[in-house]
Amino acid sequence: MSADTISINSQMNHFDSHDSVWLFGYGSIIFKADFPFLQRRPAHIAGWARRFWQGSHDHRGTAEAPGRVVTLVPQEGAICAGMAYLITPEVFAHLDHREKNGYLRVVAEIHFSEEEKTDGLLYIASEENAAFAGPADEEEIAWQIARAAGPSGRNSEYLLLLAQALRELGSDDAHVFAIERHLLRLERETAGR
């Protein structure tokens, strides 16, 4: 599948008849909501784990030196914390463009608490897309992130902002925090030279 998913996503009509829909953000959408929304609430989804397994050729890297950003992978028993935004369908076009590098719209159950949940929308980059970077050692991922930058800024900034946002949500994400530790060590070592 091509990394450019705009046309595929524009064909998804699951929420077109809705006045509003909840969007679940688990990566940069947590800390960078560059779209209009009606409400914002902490939330989580079950059965998915956040992983730095998606290449970024358009935001936090380039085609020649791609960065790494998060996607979701199925994992039994996993809970992925994030931020949910109540949006109108008019926002889909902006989100489809923002998430065009391999991400597809997916319907998922979003949980606000044990009792409160709803069907909502999220974007997932699966291994079938051309920009999928795949699993790697967390230190190796940190090295790639340390070297990458793109039109939206340094890849390290993305990682650090995500880690900070997860801490503010009270979420302990071992994968993200391990990569953050490796990145900070690399930065200290580079600064010490």
Domain range list for the chain: 6-188
Cα 143–Cα 60–Cα 87 angle in degrees, nearest 5: 130
Phi, psi of 96 (to 5 degrees): -60, -40
Structure tokens given for 140: 């190796």
pTM for the structure as a whole: 0.91
pLDDT at 12: 64
Asked: is 6-188 a CATH 3.40.1360.10 domain? The reply is no
pLDDT at 191: 77
Structure tokens given for 46: 């079950």
pLDDT at 190: 83
DSSP state of 84: E
- Burial class from Cβ neighbours inside 10 Å (0-12, 13-18, 19+) for residue 154 reads middle
Q: In terms of Cα–Cα distance, which of 57, 133, 47, 164 is closest to 100?
A: 57
Structure tokens given for 167: 């801490």
Question: Helix 138-147 to helix 155-168 angle, to the nearest 10 degrees?
Answer: 120
pLDDT at 189: 87
Q: Which residues are catalytic?
A: 99
Structure tokens given for 99: 């998430």
Q: Which alpha helices (H) appear in 26-124, and where do they start and end?
A: 28-31, 92-98
pLDDT at 17: 73
The residue ranges of the chain whose pLDDT is under 50 are none
pLDDT at 48: 97
Phi, psi of 128 (to 5 degrees): -80, -15
pLDDT at 72: 98
